[in-house]
Amino acid sequence: MELETSYPGSIDHSHIPIDLFGSKKHAGVPRGVLAFVDASSNIVFKVNNPHPQKLLLDASANPLFSIHRLPNGCWKCYKGDSNEEKELVFSVQRTLKTLSRVELEVFFKGEKDGACDLKVKGSPFKRSCNIYKHNELVAQVRCLITLSLMSLAAKFLD
């Protein structure tokens, strides 16, 4: 007998947007670590920056992914704290870099057609980017401007 896991009117939670806030000054986070917190200020992820790699850690500091920058300007992401090719998850190649725009192509391991799986188009100046899959917007990253930052900017403009 097979159990049914959904019911009429159930919600597909895979499409519910989640806001994460990045901060280097969150309580309990050591210097040089970037923390991503949810709306309740609970740490969800941390990014540790030991050279020559970056580590994405869960809230308990377990390594989820390690990201390595290669001399040719590419990045490779591996499962856990690994750098073995069998643990490769995806690679990233920069296709455009100007002062106002950056474009990246993301290739997931196992995809054989040679076309990129995701495109990242962003603006370093605006600290924002859009992530596309086959010309469909799937995610956005935006800089959060707080009221205190705006009032500080207004003081300098007066």
Is a pLDDT exceeding 80 seen at residue 60?
A: yes
d(CA 139, CA 88): 23
> Domain 69-157: which topology?
Porin (2.40.160)
Helices (H), the chain: 147-157
Which of 7-11, 29-33, 41-45, 103-107 bottoms out in mean pLDDT, i.e. has the lowest?
A: 7-11
What confidence tens digit (pLDDT) does each residue in 113-146 have? Answer: 678 899 999 988 778 889 999 889 988 887 766 5
Which comes out higher in pLDDT, residue 145 or 1? 145
What confidence tens digit (pLDDT) does each residue in 61-116 have? Answer: 899 999 998 888 899 999 998 888 999 999 999 998 888 899 999 999 876 667 88
Is a pLDDT exceeding 70 seen at residue 6?
A: no
Mean pLDDT across the stretch 145-149?
53
d(CA 81, CA 90): 14
Give the confidence band of 153 by pLDDT, cuts at 50, 70, 90.
Answer: very low
Averaged confidence pLDDT in the chain: 79
What confidence tens digit (pLDDT) does each residue in 21-36 have? Answer: 888 787 878 887 888 8
Q: Which amino acid is at 59?
A: A
Q: Return contacts of 127-133, CB within 8 angstroms, 24+ apart.
A: 129/102
**Count of residues in the chain:** 158
Is a pLDDT exceeding 50 seen at residue 149?
A: no
d(CA 102, CA 119): 10
d(CA 97, CA 125): 12
Give percent of the chain above pLDDT 70.
78
Three-class DSSP category at 112: coil
d(CA 109, CA 87): 9
Give the confidence band of 8 by pLDDT, cuts at 50, 70, 90.
Answer: very low
**Whole-Å CA distances, 156 to 146, 150, 152, 153:** 16, 10, 7, 5
